[in-house]
Amino acid sequence: MSTKQAVFELNGEDYGLDITDVNTVEKDMIIKKMANSPNNVKGKIDLRGNDIPVYSLRRKFGFEDKKQDKDTRFLITKVKGIDIAFEVDNVKGILDFESSNIFDVPTVIKCNNTSYIKSIANVGDGLILLLDNDSLIDDEEKMALQSKNKK
């Protein structure tokens, strides 16, 4: 069995998100500030009349913020029922991974802080961390974002 992944780059590392979790990929979006938002939320974008929170995976993974540039993309997805835009440095494309190239996350990496890593794909001479969409935001962030959407 194989899996199709939207492969993107963050801080020079490659990550994958199941293509069935990604609604669309956007670029050149203007991020507007959101008052009292969780630390990993940079603000919101207006996508065809809908306000969508922008979630910084760089912040989530402990990387420094990076200025938006021509390669910056927004993966529009739904996490735990909430529309969200993951800001990433660059989208490399959609790759098909055979199950023989996908491995469990080593126990040394597994902990509460990395529960969002579903598995690891071995590609050529590199590794791609395959992420679990619903584990990327924690319950506290989810509650904060839900209360914002109700206003």
β-partners of residue 137 are: none
34-63 pLDDT per residue, tens = 888 889 999 999 999 999 999 999 999 999
Terminal C-alpha separation, the chain:
43
pLDDT at 139 over 80: yes
Range of the domain at 27: 2-150
pLDDT at residue 87, rounded to an integer: 97
Helix (H) or strand (E) holding 78: strand 73-79
- CATH number (domain holding residue 39): 2.40.50.180
d(CA 37, CA 62): 18
90-135 pLDDT per residue, tens = 999 999 999 999 998 876 666 656 778 899 999 888 899 999 998 8
Please indicate, yes or no, whether the overall pTM of this predicted structure exceeds 0.75: yes
pLDDT at residue 108, rounded to an integer: 65
Total tally of structural domains belonging to the chain: 1
